[in-house]
């Protein structure tokens, strides 16, 4: 359940309250008795002790000291605040609390927001398919914030962003049985209409007319048609005349095709549309928050399956831009559908294109669940800004080398390119394959590691994490200001 964050004006001691302080002096003295203050002081003197929980006449009262100054950077500190927020959730949910009030006693508006963000994001659950959902559902519905420094707009933005992350996670968690390419596009339509985004969904016939040979080849083994979703958000007050274009990998399920994946690697492959979910959800948040930036999102979508008509290793396919590709592994399908989307992006003469894709096991092997593999071409100007955002929101990007030499590995004897680069540097050769279809400033983010997790990690809940949504939102927000 997505808790709503509301600004409140006064402390109500009949609520369950969390007091965020930077030091004991911040404790409101009309709320706490002297013995209570003494007790809290004693507890907080303990090493590593920043939280004290009291039960004041049946009302849970938490005092939490946020600024510890132990962390080496602001970014690390904020991540700690998010995690602290999440860590207190269970106290309230176990208590069946519906409303919690966070009191910013220490004039810590940004810290309070980070704490609240962790609490809200950690409250996500995917219970749709459980019959015991009513009893499992977390109780928390409303988070009030009392703060003299926080403005309504910041609270509204946090509500929007959290809703977008929830939306993204649920799209990823939805299994193929209920989310094929057409259903994904329909869900995007609902999101677009709500947020005032223009959307067009190309059906198979139109995709054929556009000669999107990569998307069509991957779709050959499927019983469901592909889709290509085009979402445009162009506010009148946009600061940019050429758009920022997001591209998201929308493989709604990746069996590997005829180059079939081993059973265990297939288990989580409903997550192979995480890039698509992230770009659509980020655009949804950007439009709902009315950020003054012209942004487009493109999503090629299909499943990758080994039906009778499936493309086979050895096939040569012709991409939308005319490039011929020798397919040597049908499991390297993401790059094929993305290549056509990157070609399509040229028509916008984009300022910058950013693609998000669960593209390679190699990126996951290199960085684990922690990091995003980033590569860039002609985007020296924007890449550091995106990396800054990635640290602020703790969806960190590690830049991979992108030397020309890696292109050699994709050379084919009988076509313009091969779709695989061999045993080594798999994340980079996949990126190099994509680069062939770009001619504009472009950033490639391989999110195969952090997109999906098999056990919860603080406010990153089990399953789809929604990685990329907060990153792109923060980047675009910085762009518009
Ligand atoms: N969807 C996978 C990559 C992936 C792996 C995503 C693990 C999330 C977690 C992608 O389509 C794939 O199969 N890539 C192959 C490429 C190879 C055949 C060159 C891979 O990484 O093994
Ligand atoms: Mn694959
Ligand atoms: Zn894939």
List pLDDT tens digits, range 123-139: 999 999 999 999 999 99
Q: How far is the CA of 254 from the centre of ligand 1 (A)?
A: 9
| 120 pLDDT more than 80 | yes
DSSP-assigned letters across all residues of 89-113: HHHHHHTT-SEEEEEETTS-HHHHH
Atom of ligand 1 nearest to the CA of 271: 8
Among candidate residues 335, 396, 418, 477, the one labeled active-site is 335
C-beta separation of 3 from 123 below 8 A = yes
Among candidate residues 387, 388, 410, the one with its CA nearest the CA of residue 400:
387
Indicate the Cα dihedral angle 376, 165, 358, 275, nearest 10°: -70
Q: Which of 302, 331, 333, 419 to mutate for ligand 1's pocket (most ligand atoms within 8 Å of CB)? A: 331
Rounded distance from Cα 335 to ligand 3 centre (Å): 8
Ligand 1 atom nearest the C-alpha of 430 is 19
pLDDT at position 72 is: 82
The per-residue pLDDT for range 195-251, each reduced to its tens digit, is: 999 999 999 999 999 999 999 999 999 999 999 999 999 999 999 999 999 999 999
> Rg of the Cα trace of the chain?
24
CA 12 to the chain's CA centroid: 35
d(CA 278, CA 452): 12
User: Using one digit for the tens of pLDDT, what is the confidence trace for 46-57?
Assistant: 878 899 999 888
CA distance 166 to 155: 17
Under DSSP, the state recorded for 51 is E
**pLDDT tops 90 at residue 319:** yes
Q: Is 335 a catalytic residue?
A: yes
Say which of 261, 290, 346, 378 is annotated catalytic: 261
Q: What is residue 407's predicted lDDT score, i.e. its pLDDT? A: 97
DSSP secondary structure letters along 259-278: SPPPHHHHTTGGGGGHHHHH
Helical pair 469-479 and 274-288, crossing angle rounded to 10 deg: 40
Instruction: State yes or no: pLDDT of 67 exceeds 80.
Output: no
Q: How far apart are CA 59 and CA 61, in angstroms?
A: 6
The percent of residues above 90 in pLDDT, for the chain, comes to 94
pLDDT score, position 47: 77
Mean pLDDT of 67-72: 70
Contact 141, 98 (CB under 8 A): yes
Helix, strand counts (H, E) of the chain: 16, 20
Query: Which residue's CA lies nearest to atom 22 of ligand 1?
Result: 361
Per-residue model confidence (pLDDT) at position 42: 95
The closest-lying atom of ligand 1 relative to the alpha carbon of residue 261 is: 13
First to last CA, the chain: 32
Residues in the chain: 481
Do residues 315 and 224 touch, judged by C-beta distance below 8 A?
Answer: no
Is the pLDDT reported for residue 392 higher than 90?
A: yes
pLDDT band for position 331 (50/70/90)?
very high
> CA nearest 394: which of 445, 458, 470?
470
Ligand 1 pocket (Cβ < 6 Å) reads 254, 272, 329, 331-334, 358-362, 364, 420, 426, 448
- Ligand nearest to the CA of residue 359, numbered in listed order: 1
Q: Is the pLDDT of residue 68 over 70?
A: no
Measure Cα distances from 400 to 119, 278, 445 in Å.
33, 21, 10
Average pLDDT, the chain: 97
Which of 265, 361, 369, 410 maximizes ligand 1 atoms within 8 Å of its Cβ, making it the mutation to test the pocket? 361
From atom 7 of ligand 1, which residue's Cα is the shortest distance away?
361
Beta strands per DSSP E along 320-424 = 324-326, 352-357, 372-377, 397-399, 417-418
What DSSP designation does 440 have? S
Q: How far away, in angstroms, is 438 Cα from ligand 3 center?
A: 20
Active site residue 169: no
CA-nearest of 117, 22, 110, 107 to 67 is 22
> In the prediction, which pLDDT does 69 show?
65
Tell which residue, 63, 88, 66, 89, has the closest CA to residue 77: 66
Q: Which domains does the chain have, with CATH numbers?
A: 4-148 (3.40.220.10), 162-480 (3.40.630.10)
Torsional class of 245: left (φ above 0), alpha (ψ -120 to 50), beta (otherwise) = beta
Query: Which stretches of 9-50 are assigned E, i.e. beta strand?
Result: 16-21
| Ligand 1: nearest atom to the Cα of 426 | 19
Could you give the CA distance from residue 144 to residue 18 in angstroms, rounded to a whole number?
10
């Amino acid at each position: 359940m997505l808790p709503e964050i509301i600004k409140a004006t006064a402390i109500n001691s009949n609520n369950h309250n969390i007091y965020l302080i930077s030091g004991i002096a911040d404790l409101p003295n009309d709320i706490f008795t002297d013995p209570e203050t003494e007790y809290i002081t004693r507890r907080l003197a303990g090493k590593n002790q920043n939280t004290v929980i009291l039960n004041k006449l049946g009302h849970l009262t938490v005092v939490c000291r946020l600024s510890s100054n132990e962390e080496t950077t602001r970014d690390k500190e904020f991540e700690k605040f998010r995690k602290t927020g999440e860590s207190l959730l269970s106290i309230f949910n176990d208590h069946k609390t519906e409303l919690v009030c966070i009191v910013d006693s220490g004039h810590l508006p940004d810290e309070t927001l980070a704490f609240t963000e962790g609490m809200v994001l950690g409250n996500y659950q995917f219970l749709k398919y459980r019959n015991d959902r009513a009893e499992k559902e977390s109780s928390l519905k409303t988070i009030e914030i009392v703060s003299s420094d926080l403005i309504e707009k910041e609270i509204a933005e946090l509500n929007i962003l959290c809703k977008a992350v929830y939306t993204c996670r649920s799209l990823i968690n939805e299994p193929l049985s209920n989310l094929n390419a057409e259903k994904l596009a329909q869900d995007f339509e609902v999101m677009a209409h709500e947020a005032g985004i223009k959307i067009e969904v190309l059906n198979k016939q139109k995709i054929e007319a556009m000669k999107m040979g990569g998307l069509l080849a991957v779709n050959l083994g499927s019983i469901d048609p592909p889709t290509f979703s085009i979402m445009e958000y162009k506010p009148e007050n946009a600061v940019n005349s050429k758009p920022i274009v997001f591209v998201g990998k929308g493989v709604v399920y990746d069996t590997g095709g005829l180059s079939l994946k081993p059973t265990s690697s297939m288990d989580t492959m409903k997550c192979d549309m995480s890039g698509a979910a992230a770009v659509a959800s980020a655009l949804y948040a950007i439009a709902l928050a009315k950020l003054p930036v012209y942004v487009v999102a493109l999503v090629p979508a299909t499943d990758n399956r080994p039906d009778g008509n499936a493309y086979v290793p050895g096939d040569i396919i012709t991409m939308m831009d005319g490039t011929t590709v020798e397919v040597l592994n049908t499991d390297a399908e993401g790059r094929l559908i993305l290549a056509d989307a990157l070609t399509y992006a040229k028509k916008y003469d984009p300022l910058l294109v950013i693609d998000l894709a669960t593209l390679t096991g190699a990126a996951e092997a290199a960085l684990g669940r922690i990091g995003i593999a980033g590569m860039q071409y002609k985007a020296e100007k924007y890449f550091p800004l995106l990396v800054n955002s990635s640290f602020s929101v703790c969806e960190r990007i590690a830049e991979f080398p992108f030397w020309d030499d890696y292109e050699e590995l994709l050379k084919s004897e009988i076509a313009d390119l091969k779709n695989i680069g061999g045993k080594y540097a798999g994340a980079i050769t996949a990126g190099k394959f994509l680069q062939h279809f770009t001619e504009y400033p472009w950033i490639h983010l391989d999110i195969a590691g952090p997109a999906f997790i098999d056990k919860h990690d603080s406010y990153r809940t089990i399953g789809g994490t929604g990685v990329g949504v907060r990153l792109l939102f923060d980047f675009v927000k910085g762009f518009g200001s």
